[in-house]
Structure 1
Amino acid sequence: MEFLSSIVGLIPCFYDHTSKHTVYIRDLKQKLQALRKEMAELNNLYEDVKARVQGAEQRQMMRRKEVGGWICEVEVMVTEVQEILQKGDQEIQKRYLGCCPRNCWSSYKIGKAVSEKLVAVPGQIGKGHFDVVAEMLPRPLVDELPMEETVGSELAYGRICGFLKDPQVGIMGLYGMGGVGKTTLLKKINNDFLPTSSDFDLVIWVEASKTKKIQKVIWNKLQLSRDGWENRSTKEEKAAEILRVLKTKKFVLLLDDIWERLDLLEMGVPHPDAQNKSKIVFTTRSQDVCRQMQAQESIKVECLSSEAAWTLFQKKLKHASLLESYGLREKNVVMHDVIRDMVLWLYGECGKEKNKILVYNDGFRLKEAVEILELKDVRRCIVGSEC
């Protein structure tokens, strides 16, 4: 029975040599060489495309689906061709050894697979010449802003959140003296849109004190083209384009540090109303500006209470526990490493002319020793008007 099987397997070897079937067997060596050459070209192209994609992704771009599909197809093809080449080399090796294969059908199948890949590989090479391999990622709903921990602003924060949900409130102003935490509070509102799904289409943060840049910031956030900005020579033309886009969106515009009334419609920002349900929230030092901006709600951001200020200071001071222990044990607290931390923090927070703390730096360390009579003097310095 085994003998008959061998005879049957040899039948294709005696098939008419002019037939196309025998070409698969007869020219196997040359075709293997040609396939290796084509695969070398495909691999070079694959490496070039992959490098372009990786470079684009490092620039926060997203590979095009067409390119990603081509890369996957090439990786599958490489595996298939490697297997075919290995079997073809084994077949050639048998011929060199003078062996007649027991089953010529397997030689036919290998030769046919090689011929098919000689057609498929150049086709894959032709598909791999991409003009563009990646596109810019769409900007997120909101850009996260760095901020410090908020202390003592829970009441104002709660009111703001309530007004953001109130359809009757479109414009809201936060006012108060400088340094009371208005900007930090507005940043918290901005970042609150990060972890949750939102009914708003986008959140725009603008440092409003830089008035000339407000329109450009909004333009960029809307991902309008740079050419479009440059081709529109007037402020009115740019405003018309911004208005065209914003009218189709439910947005939140956060304006930090307004010093005077801003004509937002002149910049292309539509007025929030019950129909578009958009919101504008701004910070300012003046309650008058809130009225000029026609804010439906104005929230005064108060100075921290004594206890809240002391809590904030303790969080800033790495030796706060030591400071407490020194204050409780000794009537006189001497400026040393513990108090030095306090001075450095106060210097950074109060700064410039306000800072009257008598220390000096010789380039290496603080050397002046200042005596604070009681712990309450330290507290008064932190939360009182002198700072």
Structure 2
Amino acid sequence: HDGWLTEHGTGGCVSIQISCDQVLNHVGSCFCGKGNYIQNLGKNLVALEESMEDLMAMREDLLQKVQIAEDGGLLRLHQIKVWLTRVVTIENQFKDLKNVGSVELQRRLKISNVEVFFEVVAQPIKPVLVEERPIQPTIVGHEAMLKKAWRYLMDDEVRIMGLYGMGGVGKTTLLTQINNRFCDSNYEVDIIIWVVVSSDLQICKIQEEVGDKIGFKGVEWNRKRQNQKAVDILNFLKRKRFVLLLDDIWRKVELFEIGIPNPTRENKKQSSIYHSVYRRMCEMEVQCLTTNDAWDLFQKKVGQTTLASHPDILKIAIKVAEKCCGLPLALNVIGETMACKRTTQEWNHAYSYDNLHGEQVKSCFLYCSLLPEDCQIYKEGLIEYWIGEGFIDEKEGRERALNQGYEIIGTLVRACLLLEEGSNKSFVKMHDVIREMTLWITSDLGKNKEICIVQAGISLCEVPKVKEWRTVERMSLMNNEIEDISGSPDCPELRTLFFQKSGLSNISSDFFRFMPRLVVLDLSRNPRLCNLPEQISELERLPIGLYELTTIIRLNLEWMRRLESISGISNLSNINLMKELELLEHLEVLTVDIRSSLVVEQLINSPRLMRCIQMEIEIDWTTSSWNRSSTTPCFSNLGKVIMKYCDGLKDLTWLLFAPNLTYLVVDNSEQVEDIITEEKFLSSSIIIIPFMKLEYLHLSHLPKLMSIYRRPLPFPCLREIQVNNCPKLRKIPLDSNSGVASKELVIKFVEKEWMERIEWEDEATKQHFLPMSQEANW
């Protein structure tokens, strides 16, 4: 019972040659030789059972190989289906045969003969090569643009065409109309391929979509390298009349890398059509609708029933449509939203942005568009940017400024311009449609697209070319792959520059030289940023020229843990870094990761810098000890501390001077014995109750930790304590009055044995907190 399996071509058929005809003939003959089998009924029934077992094994082997072929994207042949059905029939006959007596057996015996030979068990699923795409029923104002694009495509000299225009103007809709027009049988096209490229352009993903369309799939295809797939696609398409439509392009696409043949005059039916936001790779601009077309579209979206529901609604609707300035996205979204609104009060708030009171709130709202699409925005971080830009005045105190920021966020949330996110609603998010409209408003309704340049999270490898740097006011290039920044652009109006998480490894010495008004600079989360030799994997110094930033208010240096010097200010070592930072006389906010405990000492000795430190401090891989006690509370703005691998620290008594600390993590620090030592605490002349605002405490892998604090603490805000692998910690500073205000305090632990050894302050404390303890799995 031998068999073999081969695969022909990339998306070809699977062949199986299997000698199962003998078995079927043997089984079938049992139902053919009537007289002979009646005479030797007992012996032949045994032989029949053996043959049936062979047949069932053959069926299972065949099914297994067919399943493998189907998993590879192939389709089971009808011959296979028929054969398997016949096997089931024989199986049922055999079962009946065993269940009847010899007389009944003679009556039921019938002639049956089955022969089989299968060379092919599966074939490729025939792809749908020309497919109409769904499109919204209400399309207004595209007729002229469609005619123009079609006329362009039908020109024998044109083989590649591009569409460009602002977000929401209708590029994808027009591309869909072109796709569907090619589906008309009057046009001789073999294949129409639609691919959504999106901002994170990846050749392999485009090849997958193209391959799926033309029938290249399965395990063997997926295993091929990019260049091999390109050859397969090229060899297939070069003989075909195809149309390739690429939607949502953000940067240049090299067709040869995908395997797309270059359309030629000899093959007039090969075309590539792009939809992009960039003019430099395209030929035809998709423009906003005319006033009449815009009003026509808006009426259809709202509906005549709503427009006629009140005499004043029609007047208001005309004004709302005008404010959309012909942008189809805005007309569609607002029109559909207002379709069910039947009161003038609701219509007066139709265009939420215009109903925001004051330029301050509007400016804060527009600023949100600098963040990437689908990005969760940390509320307090957003407020920091607003303060840095000057939208919120901090002269009357930081707390008041923060409160004002939260009030503005609340206004935007109530206007449905921002959505709250996260379990504790500490984040907000801007809907993609709202973000597109915001960018449009920021660009002076599309008239000046370089006022605010936002190319965040689109996998850029270099700083984009800007026609007129002198007009740029804000630029966001965060979440990209820009390794090197060179040149010295003249940006007299630039106020905000986002480069966080952009893969930076080098910034030229003169880049910041002509940015006199820059007030917000975010270089955080670029751990490879370095002006030294390539073998240095993390930042050693900030680029020469930073001293030109005399107006800088906010400087974010997170995740740059080897920061030693700001070259160009004083060229000093990290021991004097704080003095260099103090030279930035307008600095108000400093966010920095700290590697050395000596830096903590310097921070404590610099009250001005301590006022700048806020939100978060992270200390990592400390090798030196810190034994200083300060008598002045100075970490007044510090809210979050994460300490990991700090082998030189024995305690964290300095946390006494972080009265607003809400989040504390101490992890993998072998020498830590106490969180706060009572001896150092008593040496201070100031009476301080620690951790009055602490909400979360996580202690993990601290082999020498013996004490958090020697006496019970009130912990009025504490919600959660997590303890993992702290074998010497025997007591938690709690009593029956601790955590009363929060009423949610939970103790999470990993080792049951540790929890059983805890020494409680008294029985009342034990009875209170033990039921609130939970075993965790880390």
TM-score of the pair, normalised by structure 2? 0.32
Post-superposition Cα deviations, 1:214-268, rounded to whole Å, max 9, x if no partner, equal 45423542326665665537x5x65445433332222211122344544323543
CA separation of 1:258 and 1:337: change in aligned 2, threshold 3 A? closer
Alignment match, 1:23: 36
Residue 43 (structure 1) shift:
7.7
Alignment match, 2:168: 179
Q: Separation in 1 of the partners of 2:292 and 2:351?
A: 17
Alignment match, 1:255: 246
More helix by share: 1
Residue 27 (structure 1) shift:
3.8
The answer to whether the 8 A contact 1:156-1:299 is kept is: no
RMSD: 5.3
Q: Which amino acid aligns with 2:166?
A: M
Q: Which amino acid aligns with 1:63?
A: R
Residue 143 (structure 1) shift:
5.8
**1:81-120 → structure 2 map (5 Å cutoff):** 81=93, 92-93=103-104, 113=110, 117=112, 120=113
Alignment match, 1:218: 207
Matched, 1:312 2:303: no
Post-superposition Cα deviations, 1:306-339, rounded to whole Å, max 9, x if no partner, equal 333233334433x652233313589889x99436
Q: Separation in 2 of the partners of 1:314 and 1:148?
A: 15
Matched, 1:70 2:83: yes
Q: Separation in 1 of the partners of 2:135 and 2:260?
A: 27
Deviates more, 1:50-59 or 1:250-259: 50-59
Q: Separation in 2 of the partners of 1:146 and 1:192?
A: 12
Post-superposition Cα deviations, 1:68-97, rounded to whole Å, max 9, x if no partner, equal 231344466578x489959x9587159xxx
Q: Separation in 2 of the partners of 1:311 and 1:58?
A: 50
Q: Separation in 2 of the partners of 1:307 and 1:52?
A: 63
Q: Separation in 1 of the partners of 2:314 and 2:145?
A: 39
**1:178-197 → structure 2 map (5 Å cutoff):** 178-193=167-182, 196=185
Q: 1:269 aligns with which of 260, 269, 273?
A: 260
Residue 126 of structure 2 aligns to a residue whose secondary structure is coil
Residue 142 (structure 1) shift:
4.4
Q: Separation in 1 of the partners of 2:87 and 2:266?
A: 52
Residue 325 of structure 1 aligns to a residue whose secondary structure is coil
Q: 2:146 aligns with which of 153, 157, 163?
A: 157
Alignment match, 2:537: none
Q: Separation in 2 of the partners of 1:312 and 1:331?
A: 16
Alignment match, 1:338: 342
Residue 153 (structure 1) shift:
0.5
Alignment match, 2:433: none
Residue 181 (structure 1) shift:
0.4
Residue 194 (structure 1) shift:
5.0
Alignment match, 2:225: 232
Alignment match, 1:137: 125
The answer to whether the 8 A contact 1:206-1:214 is kept is: no
Q: Separation in 2 of the partners of 1:244 and 1:78?
A: 48
Matched, 1:205 2:194: yes
Q: 1:289 aligns with which of 264, 270, 281?
A: 281
Alignment match, 2:136: 148
Q: Separation in 2 of the partners of 1:60 and 1:240?
A: 21
Residue 342 (structure 1) shift:
6.9
Residue 263 of structure 2 aligns to a residue whose secondary structure is coil
Matched, 1:360 2:421: no
The answer to whether the 8 A contact 2:232-2:259 is kept is: yes
Matched, 1:321 2:311: no
Q: Separation in 1 of the partners of 2:131 and 2:154?
A: 21
Deviates more, 1:137-146 or 1:31-40: 31-40
The answer to whether the 8 A contact 2:206-2:258 is kept is: no
The answer to whether the 8 A contact 1:251-1:279 is kept is: yes
Q: Separation in 1 of the partners of 2:445 and 2:413?
A: 14
Q: Which amino acid aligns with 1:268?
A: G
Residue 248 of structure 2 aligns to a residue whose secondary structure is strand
Residue 201 of structure 2 aligns to a residue whose secondary structure is helix
Q: Separation in 2 of the partners of 1:228 and 1:47?
A: 27
Q: Separation in 2 of the partners of 1:44 and 1:92?
A: 31
Residue 170 (structure 1) shift:
0.9
The answer to whether the 8 A contact 2:195-2:210 is kept is: no
**1:50-65 → structure 2 map (5 Å cutoff):** 62-65=75-78
Residue 254 of structure 1 aligns to a residue whose secondary structure is strand
The answer to whether the 8 A contact 2:182-2:189 is kept is: no
Residue 141 (structure 1) shift:
1.0
Q: Separation in 2 of the partners of 1:182 and 1:307?
A: 20
Residue 303 (structure 1) shift:
1.1
The answer to whether the 8 A contact 1:142-1:194 is kept is: yes
Deviates more, 1:243-252 or 1:53-62: 53-62
The answer to whether the 8 A contact 2:164-2:277 is kept is: yes
Alignment match, 1:167: 156
CA separation of 1:270 and 1:307: change in aligned 2, threshold 3 A? same
Alignment match, 1:300: 285
CA separation of 1:53 and 1:309: change in aligned 2, threshold 3 A? farther
The answer to whether the 8 A contact 1:61-1:137 is kept is: yes
Q: Separation in 2 of the partners of 1:55 and 1:249?
A: 30
CA separation of 1:347 and 1:191: change in aligned 2, threshold 3 A? farther
More strand by share: 2
Residue 276 (structure 1) shift:
2.2
CA separation of 1:148 and 1:168: change in aligned 2, threshold 3 A? same
Q: Separation in 2 of the partners of 1:194 and 1:267?
A: 24
Q: Separation in 2 of the partners of 1:357 and 1:198?
A: 51
Deviates more, 1:138-147 or 1:55-64: 55-64
Q: Which amino acid aligns with 1:92?
A: V
CA separation of 1:248 and 1:304: change in aligned 2, threshold 3 A? same
Number of equivalenced pairs: 310
The answer to whether the 8 A contact 1:316-1:345 is kept is: no
Q: Which amino acid aligns with 1:232?
A: R
Residue 202 of structure 2 aligns to a residue whose secondary structure is helix
Q: Separation in 2 of the partners of 1:345 and 1:34?
A: 84
Residue 287 of structure 2 aligns to a residue whose secondary structure is coil
Alignment match, 1:4: none
CA separation of 1:269 and 1:326: change in aligned 2, threshold 3 A? same
The answer to whether the 8 A contact 2:72-2:217 is kept is: no
CA separation of 1:43 and 1:22: change in aligned 2, threshold 3 A? closer
Post-superposition Cα deviations, 1:125-180, rounded to whole Å, max 9, x if no partner, equal xx79x9x9655523321466554333210122233334444433211222333221
Residue 182 (structure 1) shift:
0.9
CA separation of 1:51 and 1:219: change in aligned 2, threshold 3 A? closer
Residue 282 (structure 1) shift:
1.3
Residue 212 of structure 1 aligns to a residue whose secondary structure is coil
Q: Which amino acid aligns with 1:306?
A: T
The answer to whether the 8 A contact 2:230-2:258 is kept is: yes
Q: Which amino acid aligns with 2:136?
A: E
CA separation of 1:301 and 1:211: change in aligned 2, threshold 3 A? same
Residue 247 of structure 2 aligns to a residue whose secondary structure is strand
